[in-house]
Amino acid sequence: MIRKARMGDVKAIQKLIAEYARKGDMLPRSLSEIYENLRDYFVYLEDGGEVIGSAAIHIMWEDLAEVRSLAVRDGHKSKGVGTQLVEACISEAIVLGIARVFALTYRPEFFEKLGFVRVEKSELPQKIWTDCLKCSKFPDCDEVALVSDLSGMQRV
């Protein structure tokens, strides 16, 4: 089951993200960052209510948002959890009237299956001047940038 994250989910979200961050697959997020941006997050819950996946849709600009912190616990990958989390983020972006959603990832094929297309990072200056400057890999980032154009799906 997917739902918007709640205060009680924050530590589980951070733990999932930390597992990926230790491997160098994503940036770590502090508890305070997750609390401050909790409204961005969705969680995927197992039948027992345990968080096994999370993702966030973070607004960067009037027409641009990022799918970030997509994490699925080992043992639950390749079961559609990540796809459903990204779809929840995209649905929220459509409701908000956001024209484009992007992701920076080491797994571009996953996002391409969801309709994202590869772009140069230079097409995302809002991301570069906010988060990328803080990253230890900047300016030699090896993540792939992908964008999904939602402009034809906007609600009226």
Residues 6+ apart with CB under 8 A from 97: 154, 155
List C-alpha distances in Å: 4 to 1, 51, 84: 10, 12, 13
Asked whether 16 and 70 are in contact (CB, 8 A), the reply is: no
CA R_g for the chain: 15
Determine the pLDDT at residue 136.
58
Class of domain 2-153 (CATH, top level): alpha beta
Q: What is the mean pLDDT of each run of 10 residues along the chain (156 residues)?
A: 97 96 89 97 93 96 93 91 97 95 93 95 66 56 88 63
Domain ranges of the chain: 2-153
Determine the pLDDT at residue 135.
56
